[in-house]
Amino acid sequence: MNAKSISKDGGVCTYRSLVRINENAKNSKSTVSCESLMLDNNSRSDTIPVNDIRADDALFSHEAKIGKISDKAIFYLMSRGISEEEARKMIVRGFAYNVSKELPVEYAAEMNNLINLELEGAIG
């Protein structure tokens, strides 16, 4: 399972899940990955997993990453002639790329347009 979230303007994301591997699920494998991108200091993300692993031979992992846009990444893109606003948009679109590439082209384009609209004038 892969979960991604982007929060801004004090947005709150809560990831809650239950993974249960029963005794008779021999040689089961499960991987859970949660990634959150915070676009300001007022937003937050909570990960609340419940993992009920009852099979001795099951392989299970859970990983959560929460981060902000790196000032170094912004600086690098700006040193290449890209405005700060466009640099932020590029980083957010890159974060969401794995989701958008699974969508039909029309929906992926609309998702990128929505990201651009949400980040319009959102420097700082």
Mean pLDDT, to the nearest integer, of 65-76? 92
Q: Residue 81, by phi and psi: left (phi above 0), alpha (psi -120 to 50) or beta?
A: left
Extract the tokens encoding 34: 């949660």
Determine the Cα–Cα distance for residues 57 and 94; give it in Å rounded to an integer.
Answer: 37
* Residue 124 clears pLDDT 50, i.e. is over it: no
pLDDT recorded at residue 121: 63
Contacts for 75 with CB less than 8 Å, ≥ 6 apart:
none
In angstroms, how far is CA 3 from the centroid of its own chain? 6
In the predicted model, is pLDDT for residue 123 greater than 70? no
Contact of 76 with 44, CB cutoff 8 Å: no
Query: Which pair of tokens denotes residue 21?
Result: 């591997």
- Strands 44-53, 29-38: parallel, antiparallel or unpaired by DSSP? unpaired
Q: Which pTM does this prediction carry?
A: 0.78
Q: Kindly report, residue by residue over 81-115, the tens digit of the pLDDT.
A: 999 999 999 999 999 998 999 999 999 999 988 88
Looking at every residue in the chain, the average pLDDT score rounds to 91
Residue pLDDT, tens place only, 24-44? 999 999 999 999 999 988 999
Q: What 3 state SS string does 20-43 have?
A: EECCCCCCCEEEEEEEEEECCCCC
